[in-house]
Amino acid sequence: MNLEAYFQRIGFYGPRDKADLATLKLIHKHHVMSVPFENLSIHCGETIIMDLDVIFDKIVRRNRGGWCLENNFLFSWVLKELGYAPTILGARVFSSTTGDFGPCNSHLINKVDIEGKAYIADVSFGVSSQLWEPLELVHGKDQPQRAAVFRLLNKGDVWVLEKSSRKSVILNPDFASSSLVNRKLTKTMYCFTMTPKVAEDFFEVNSKLQTDPSTLFTNKSICSLQTPSGFRALIGCIYSEVTYKPEEGVDVFDMRDVPVEEVEQVLRDKFSIRLQNKLQPVNKAYSYTL
């Protein structure tokens, strides 16, 4: 594992001699703009393993992406190498289906303490809710980013992350009936405690997320990447390019169906991903959240 190779992977060539907030923000943003959030391994007959050497090889050497348990675990290692002292935390994701948080810590995040203040660094949370920069761990403060306005709420026993986004404008009439039309503008994302975690605490959920037939990740093949103007995503055979327009109060969605035989070409052209095994795109409905 080589730190210079990681920085080359994310295209970061700036100064990194200080473990300060400015450096953390820059590396965080470069990561989400360069490393896709994706679960394609599940749909290629591959097993996702929570091992740093394996994750480094996949993301850095093979130019792949990963889900939160891979990306944020790798990011924790990067921060330690740079002189930060990150603490791994476990988060429970909110389910709009049940109206509650999942029963177990299925999401991994990092807390980073800098000059007496704490920040939450999360370089891998889904498609449209991705943080571009770390958030200060302070109650009730609106923290605007281009994607949305984020805020952390101290509920006593847990912290809750929520976001306020903008209205959706969908350019393609064929997708006008999608859930985007009526999506909630204020959304609860996840909750977490300050209890430190280690990688082994996520081994069981890492296995379940990729094998349980009722989870999001077994029912949808997902690949998304943040861009300077928004994000792009491929879910099953639906490709989207989204432009954030905060000055107009809208997010513009340009969506289209991709023929199955062209899916891997889209992955190469739009995400720089070349798969070793054949992908089986899938985009099924699901009703269970860990």
Q: Are 223 and 273 in contact (CB under 8 A)?
A: yes
- Active-site choice (122, 191, 223, 251): 122
| Structure-token match 């101290």, residue found | 154
| Alpha-carbon span 191 to 209, nearest angstrom | 18
- Active-site choice (43, 68, 191, 223): 68
Catalytic residue status for 68: yes
Contacts 24+ apart (CB under 8 A), 224-228: 224/36, 224/37, 224/38, 224/126, 224/127, 224/130, 225/33, 225/34, 225/35, 225/36, 225/37, 225/65, 225/270, 225/271, 226/32, 226/33, 226/130, 226/132, 226/147, 227/33, 228/33
Q: Are 247 and 69 in contact (CB under 8 A)?
A: no
| Alpha-carbon span 87 to 202, nearest angstrom | 14
β-bridge pairing 107-114 and 87-95: antiparallel
| Structure-token match 């977490």, residue found | 192
Distances (CA, A) of 208 to 46, 105, 173, 211, 218: 14, 12, 37, 5, 10
DSSP characters for 249-262?
TEEEEEEEE--GGG
Catalytic residue status for 17: no
- Active-site choice (30, 31, 107, 191): 107
* C-alpha distance across the termini of the chain, in Å: 31
Catalytic residue status for 43: no
| Alpha-carbon span 133 to 27, nearest angstrom | 9
Active-site amino acid positions: 68, 107, 122
